[in-house]
Structure formats: structure tokens, C-alpha cells
Structure 1
Amino acid sequence: MIETVTTGAKVRQFLYILVPILVTQIAMFSMTFFDTIMSGRYSAEDLAGVAVGSSLWLPVYTGLSGILMSITPIIGHLIGGGEQKKVSFSVMQGVYVALFIAAVTYVLGLLCLGPILGAMNLEENVRRIAFEYVIGLSFGIIPLFLTAVLRGFIDALGMTRTSMVITLLSLPLNVLFNYLLIYGKWGFPELGGVGSGYATAITYWIIFFLAVWIIHRHEPFSMYRLFHTLPKASFIKWKEIFLLGLPIGLSIFFETSIFSAVTLFMSEYNTNVIAAHQAALNFASLTYMIPLSVSMALTIVIGFEAGANRWKDARQYSLIGVSIAVSISLLCTAGIFFFREQVAYLYSTDSEVLKLTAGFLMFAALFQLSDAVQAPVQGALRGYKDVNVTFMMTMISYWVIGLPLGWALAAFTDSGPYGYWIGLIIGLTCGAITLSLRLRFVQKRKSALPA
């Protein structure tokens, strides 16, 4: 990361940071993407089971790992303010927090997974597949959260290409393990969709060990000497991580768990509807990696500029990021709309599932524009370390407006299961508007401060 003067230099630096993040996010999500597709090719029940399991796992993972996203702005502010000597200590405290969060996740899973699946009106085999899929994933929880901290450190240094290389090296291995464990090839057990959970857990461990090796052996990471000493736990630093990270994690949790709640409500429909809904949602989540990546890049560059009190530069970066996200989302909207039938065929060959998936993808196309605004704006606000109001706005938009409205449309109109998607789109739009207003307010307040 370097200080930039012209708009052109800012665009180049932003793209230099953004593109590797985007590739990394798509590669990370592709693990779930391939889990769903390869399970769907095994059977419709495995597609539904893996889809339900992943929809329960995703909000838990994104919400808790969202807490660890605070590492990026914390390190960014330290580097921007010339306090490099404090970086290693902060990262190691993040590692301790990651281990604590992993332990909490295991306890939550032990207490809640069975009752939640039991409350859903699923066919017994679908319920079994969902349960065992999450159990398989659970073996990768510890490396997943530890890697989130290490990636926050790597990205805060502006070395996002390193995260990209690590993930790209591991993605083919994930597909290979899926093939072996889902279909029982080369002497491996034939586990169906459940096998994809174990395959992903193995891949998480590979990513973690690659990240540790690179941080130990290569500059500029090795100069910070992570893991060379183990400092005592600092609850003051933990407090900083949680005060900044909890609102981020809760904001992400409320955003992602809304889709799990919809899945829970949709359990009243048959297996084909559930499978189609989750297939469309899975693809919409893939395209969401674009605004999410812009969001993460904005947190890095704005955190760097805010740490140096360069408020005008931070504002310019926010405009660049949102403009890029909106431009790309227009292309994604058109692509999903015109090629929805071809996309549906990726997930299933069942004629009814294909028809339903294509219908859900019509609404997924409309997701793109609202996501293109609200996600980057959230990232910009995190760069300013403004997270509490963001969390409240997200919760209200999704849970007070989006979900109740979707339920009402599904229950009392002819929209049926599509009513939930309409409600979600309205909730996303409300979030995009209110968050944009909040960003404007924060930027005006910061611009009044001395440079």
C-alpha cells in the first residue's frame, strides 16, 4: 500500500488490490458451489440435503468470521499510522480470538444443529444428509477461522495476490476430494453429498498450512515474525477486536441468516422446490462475491487512508469502489436474466427442478443492483471503523422489513415461494439506501477533521 495522488493512480491501486480478492472469494465460494453442483449430480435428495446444510452453516461461518474481519482495519490503521511494531502482537491476539470463536462454534453446533434440522419439515434422508454434511465440514472449523486472521493480516499489507495464490492452489484439490468422496472413486468410500463436507474440511487445512508457510518464509510477512513468540492473551486487545468485529459479524450474520430463515420457512414445500430455491440462491451467492470483494478492498484502502487522516482520498476510493461494483452488477443482471435456463442446468437434470430454478433465478437477477451498493458501502464504513449503526441498519432492513414482507407475500398472495424472494429484494434495497445515507454522513463528519 502506498499513498496515491491522482484519481488514475487510485483506480490502479484499487484494482491491484481488488482483483486478487475477487479471485480469492470466488475460489473460496467455489468450494460450496462445487459441493452443491456435484451433489446435485449425485441425486436430488443430496442436492437438497447439502443445500440445506450449507444454508445453515453459511450464516454461522460468515457471522463469526466477520468478527475476525476487524483484523484488516486494525492492521490497516497501524500501518497507515506508521506503527508497524504493533502489528505482530495484534495479529497473534487475533489468532487467540479465532481459537476461542472456533470453540464457541463447536458448542453451538452440538446444541443447535439437531433441533434446527428437526424443526424443518424435511424428508428423513434429506435431513440425514444435511446433518452429516455439516458434521463433515466441522472438521475444518479451526483452520478456517485461523486462516481468516492470517488473510486479514496479508490483505492489510496490500498483498492480496498472496491470498489469491493460496486459494487457487487448493481449489483443484477440493474438486478432486469431492470426486473421490461423493462418488467413491479410487477405493474411497461413496458418501454422496456428505462426502463434499469432508472434502471441504480437508481443503481448509491445506489452505491454512500454505498460509502459515508463506508467512514464515516470504517477505514482507516474515519481517513481522508471527508465531516466533507467543505473547500472553491481552484482553484489552481482545476488547478492541470484539468492539469492532462484533458489529461487523452481526451485520453479516443478519444478512446471511435471512436466507437460512427463508429456507426454514420453505420447508413446507416439497423437496424439488427446496432444491431449486437453494440452487438459485447458490448461484446468486456466487455473483455476490463481486460486490463483497469490492467491499473488502474498500475496507483495506479506506482503512489505510483513514489511519493517515487523508479523508479526501478515502472518499475518492469509496466512489471508485461503488462505481465499479454497480457497473459489473449490471452485466451480471443481464447475464442471469438471459441465461437462467442454462444456469439451472448446472445444478440438476430433473425437469421440474430445472423449471423452478429458472423461475427463482429471475428474482436472483434483481438482487444484483441492491447488492452492488449495500455491500461496498458497508466495506467503506468498516474502513472508517464505523460499524455499530451499520449493524442496526442491516438488521432492520432484513429482519424487520424483508423477511416479514416475504412471509406475508408467500402466505397471502399468489406469489407462493417466490414471495420470499420479493421480500428479500425489498429488504436489500432498503439497506442499500440507508447505508448510503450513513456513509455520506460519516464522510461529511470526517471531512471537517484536520488532514
Structure 2
Amino acid sequence: MEKHSLRQIGEESSALIKVAIPAILAQLAQMTLGVVDTLMAGNYSKHALAAVGTGANTFMIIFALYLGLSFALNPMVSHFNGQGQFKQIGKTFQMGMVVGVAFGLVTFFILRNMETPLLLMGVTPDIAGLTADYLTALSWGAIPAFLFLSLRACNEGLFSTKAIMICSFLVIPFNIVFNTWFIYGGLGLPAMGAVGVGYATSLVWTLLFLFLLIYTYKNRRYEHLDIFKNLSWPSMTLIKEYFTVGSPIAVGMLMEVGLFGMIGIMVARYGVDLTGAHQIAMNIATVAFMVPLGLSVAITARVGFWRGKQDFRQMRLAGFCGIGLSVIFQATSVTLMLLFRHDFVGFYTDNTELINLAASLIFLAAIFQFSDGLQINSAGALRGMKDTTIPMIYMAIAYWIFGFPIGYYLAEKQGLKVEGFWIGIIVGLSIAAILLLFRFIRRSKFAIEYAQSQ
């Protein structure tokens, strides 16, 4: 490993933190939306909680594809920024918007035809019907959701994470108001329960997109990028790069989110109580995950910027500083989850049986916090290098050759049910973390050695 002075490490860590803190807060704010949905659905009824949880898990399998694809925009923009190719940044913004609309249209129709697939996967009819209605309501927000993701990723590539944070916090009050209105009814609307959560989420996504669009349009620092000028279809060269970098990220993201989503769907076969406990515990674990996820955004942007400048030593340092910061946070997260797991669950429900079930799952969630943080930030560093294909293969191996089969065996054959699946998650995340970290170590070292030999 290349040696760096404490001053260099401090400067790069400070630069990372400056970008990462707003990104982390934005992730937490956006996650708060899901927490509010879960809390309010759980307070309405156990069936509403189960339907919203199952529907969210189902949608995340689709959502993950575009989320992963949009992740390619961050390193593309940061590379162009490092190279000084500013007009290409504007074209990248435009391309992201076009793809977001196209993907949103396809998703709109998929979400409106989910009841039969849910029944075929073994979800009980009472939960399947309500979940399908929730997804139909959610479908109206598909296009603005994907447009927001495109704008978010492009802005992150320019280190504009503070604006995303502000937009994300602005919509939280709207989410609470819309949920209250649509779940319980009022002002001419009937009580809609879980279905109301779907409509509220669609409106919130629309506001998120509009707020970030206004910021992007009004930002004077972006005037030279011509984002909203000389509008045209993206060039084939740009599209090819987008899908070359983004498709493996999308598939890799699908491997991970699909693991969690499929487990969530299979858990729904165990009844309302276990489904609710799983949803609460997963929600808490996901909140903790928002910090390393936000940090990975900063790592990708910083690594991508230095790669664009062809400064590979600084690129490698940025990756290691980010991964190190993640380990420090994960240690804190594990401690809090172990000490206060019953208290955390108490925010979601006052049902004693549900609290005990969810708390036992949070104990397992605490175990995989280290692996989860390590794998997402190692992957973020590799994305900054535009190294995405091999990481995708690693994720497929980790999650679907080891993680899910082991979880299924323990849950179904050994009778561990939900806990069996969670042990499978631990195995999959740990294998992914090891493989991705060592690939970044090897690839960043090779980049330095190759540059020195030229």
C-alpha cells in the first residue's frame, strides 16, 4: 500500500466528510419517509403493516434495477468534472432524465398487475390483495421517483449533496400530512389504510423531484454545463458508457436488494405477526445502513474525481479513507443496536409479542452491520473506478450461491423460519465484503503501478 502522510489522510478524510455528511443526512431523511410509512401503517392495523411491508419489499426488487443504473451517473459526472469536459456533464444530466422516464413507464404498468404474482409466490390472499392495491397506488409515483434518482446521482457527482439533503428534509412534513389524510380519511376522502400510504408516497416522490429540479435549474454554478440548453437525444457513445457502467451495478444491486426482497416475500407466508416483526427489524437495520450508503456516495464521487484527473495515488487514498470511516461508524451502530434493540422496536408497536420477535431479529442485524458497511463502501470505491462487472459477479456468488440457499435451508429445513433467513443474509454480506474489499486493494494498486510504468 502506498504510504501517505497524516496530513494527506486528514485532508482527504475532511473532503470526504464534507461531501458525505449531507449525503448521509439525505439518505436518512429519505429513509425517514419509509419509517413514517411503517409506523403509521402499523398504528392503523397489523394487516396494513404487513401489506405495506410486503409491497415495499416487492417494489424494491424493481426499484433496485433503476437505482443501480442511476449509480453510474455519479462516476460519469465526476470523471467529466475531473477532466474539465463540462458540456458532457450537461448531456449526462439530459440522458439520465430520458432513461428515468422510460424506466418509470415500464414500472407503472408492472406495479398495476402484481396480485397474481404475489399469490403464486405464496403470499396469503388477505395480504396479497391489499398489497396489490397498495402497489397500484404507488405506481403513480414511479416516473417522478426515477427522475429524482437521476437528478440526485448527477448532482452527487458534482459534490452537490447539501441540496439533496435539503430537498429530502423538506418533504418529510408533507409525507406525514399526506399519510394522515389518506390513511384515516378526511376533507372528502375516505379512509384508505395501506392503500393511502401508496398514494401519499407517490405525491412525496413527485415533490422530491420537483424540488431538486428547481435547484438544478436555478443553480448558477451549473450555467456553463448547459443542462437545460441545446436539448437533444443523448449520443450513442454516452448511452453505451452509461449502460456499460450502470448495467452491472443495476444487476449487482438487484442481487442484494432482491435477496432482502425475496426473503421479505417468503416471510409473508409465516403470518401477520412474523411478517410484522421482520418488517420492523428490517426497517431499523435499513435506517442504520443509510449512513454507510450515504458515505459510499461520497467515496464514489471522490474516487471518480481523482481517477478523472489521473491521480491514482489520491484515488486509492480516497477509497481507503472512506472505508476506514465506515468501519468506525459500524462499530458505533452495532453497539447501539445491541444495547437498545427493545427500545427501538417500542417506537413501532406496543405489542409485547411483536417487540420480542423483532428484538431477536435486530440482534442478528447488528451482527451483519460490519459486513454491510464494508461491502457497500468497497463497492462505492470500485464504482468510482468504473469497475462494475466483476463486483456484480461477486454479488451474485455471495447472495445467491451462498446467502439465500443457506438462509432457505435453515428457515425451511431446520425450522428456524425468519431467523434462518437472517443468518443467510449475514453469510451473503460477509462474503461480498471480503471479495469487494480485496478487489479494490488489487485494482487500485495495479492502477498506480501501471501509471508509473508509462
TM-score range, shorter chain: over 0.9
| Match status 1:135 vs 2:147 | no
- In 2, Cα distance between the equivalents of 1:203 and 1:218? 23
C-alpha separation in 1, matches of 2:308 and 2:447: 12
Q: Which amino acid aligns with 1:83?
A: Q
Q: 1:19 aligns with which of 21, 28, 31?
A: 21
Q: Report the equivalent of 2:315.
A: 314
Corresponding residue of 2:385: 384
More off after superposition, 260-269 vs 419-428: 260-269
Instruction: State the one-letter code of the partner of 1:438.
Output: R
User: Alpha-carbon deviation of 1:414?
Assistant: 4.8
Partner in structure 2 of residue 85 of structure 1:
87
The within-5 A match list for 1:324-343 is 324-343=325-344
Q: After superposition, what is the alpha-carbon deviation per residue over 1:210-266, rounded to whole angstroms, capped at 9, x for unaligned? A: 112112212212332322332134233222111110111111111011012112322
Answer whether contact 1:251 1:392 (CA < 8 A) is retained.
yes
Q: Does 1:105 align with 2:107?
A: yes
Matched, 1:59 2:44: no
Q: Which residue of 2 aligns with 1:347?
A: 348
* One-letter identity of the residue aligned with 2:224: M
CA contact (8 A) 2:124 2:269 kept: no
With structure 2 as the length reference, what TM-score do the two structures score? Answer: 0.95
Contact (CA 8 Å) 1:120, 1:267: kept in 2 or not?
no
Corresponding residue number in structure 2 for 1:171: 172
SS in 2 for 1:220: helix
Partner of 1:242 in structure 2?
243
- Pairwise CA distance, 1:430: 0.6
| Contact preservation (8 Å) 1:78, 1:84 | yes
Where do residues 286-325 of structure 1 align in structure 2 (5 Å cutoff)?
A: 286-325=287-326
Q: CA deviation at 1:292?
A: 0.9
Separation in 2, partners of 1:138, 1:109:
6
**1:231-270 maps to which residues of 2 (within 5 A)?**
231-270=232-271
**Count of residue pairs the alignment pairs up:** 447
Q: Partner of 1:357 in structure 2?
A: 358
Partner of 1:38: 40
Q: In the alignment, residue 437 of structure 1 is paired with which amino acid? A: F
Residues 163-208 of structure 1 show CA distances to partners (whole Å, capped at 9, x for unaligned) of 1111111121111111111122444431112211111110111111
Separation in 1, partners of 2:346, 2:127: 21
Counterpart AA for 1:74: M
Listed one character per residue, the Cα deviations across residues 367-394 of structure 1 (whole Å, up to 9, x for unaligned) are: 2111121010000000000000000001
Give CA-to-partner distance per residue, 1:140-181, whole Å, 9 cap, x none: 111111111111221111111011111111121111111111
**2:313 and 2:448 in contact (8 A); partners too:** yes
- Measure the CA separation in 1 of the matches of 2:123 and 2:8: 57
Deviates more, 1:256-265 or 1:379-388: 256-265
2:421 counterpart residue number: 420
Query: Shift in Å at residue 107 of structure 1?
Result: 4.0
Q: Shift of the alpha carbon at 1:406?
A: 0.7
1:126 match = 127
Q: How far has the Cα of 1:433 moved from its partner?
A: 0.6
* 1:94–1:238 CA contact under 8 A, matched in 2: no
How far apart are the structure 1 equivalents of 2:422 and 2:70?
A: 30
Which residue in 1 is equivalent to 2:4? none
- Aligned partner of 2:447 in structure 1 is 446
CA contact (8 A) 2:148 2:208 kept: yes
For residues 57 and 311 of structure 1, the distance between their equivalents in structure 2, rounded to whole angstroms, comes to 39
Instruction: State which drifts further: 176-185 or 277-286.
Output: 176-185
8 A Cα contact 2:108 2:140, kept in partner:
no
Q: Deviations over 1:332-360 (max 9, x none)?
A: 11111111111112222222212211111
**Preserved CA contact (<8 Å) 1:348 1:354:** yes
Residues 70-123 of structure 1, C-alpha deviation per residue, up to 9 Å, x if partnerless? 111111111101111221112212211112211232343355x22321124444
- Aligned partner letter, 2:16: F
User: TM-score, normalization: structure 1?
Assistant: 0.95
The secondary structure found in structure 1 opposite 2:269 is coil
Equivalent in the alignment of 2:431: 430
Letter of the 1:372 partner, please give it.
G
Quote the sequence identity (%). Answer: 28
Find the counterpart in structure 1 of residue 50 from structure 2: 48
Amino acid at match of 2:83: G
CA deviation string 1:295-318 (max 9, x = no partner): 111100000000001111111111
Alignment partner of 1:335: what SS? helix
Contact 2:22–2:162 under 8 Å retained in 1: yes
Q: What's the offset of the Cα at 1:410? A: 1.5
After superposition, the Cα gap between the structure-2 partners of 1:267 and 1:211, relative to the gap in structure 1 and judged at 3 Å, is closer
Q: Which residue number corresponds to residue 146 of structure 2?
A: 145
Counterpart AA for 2:352: S
CA distance in 1, matches of 2:157, 2:399: 30
CA-atom RMSD in angstroms: 1.7
Q: Aligned equivalents of 2:102 and 2:27: distance in 1? A: 24
Partners of 2:80 and 2:236 lie apart in 1 by 19
Cα deviation, residue 325, structure 1: 0.9
Unaligned 5+ segments in structure 2 are 1-6
Which runs of no fewer than 5 residues in structure 1 stay unpaired?
none
Which secondary structure does the structure 1 equivalent of 2:220 belong to? coil
- Contact 1:215-1:222 within 8 A present in 2 as well: no
Does the CA-based 8 Å contact 1:44-1:348 persist in structure 2?
A: no
In 2: Cα distance, 1:417 partner to 1:56 partner: 17
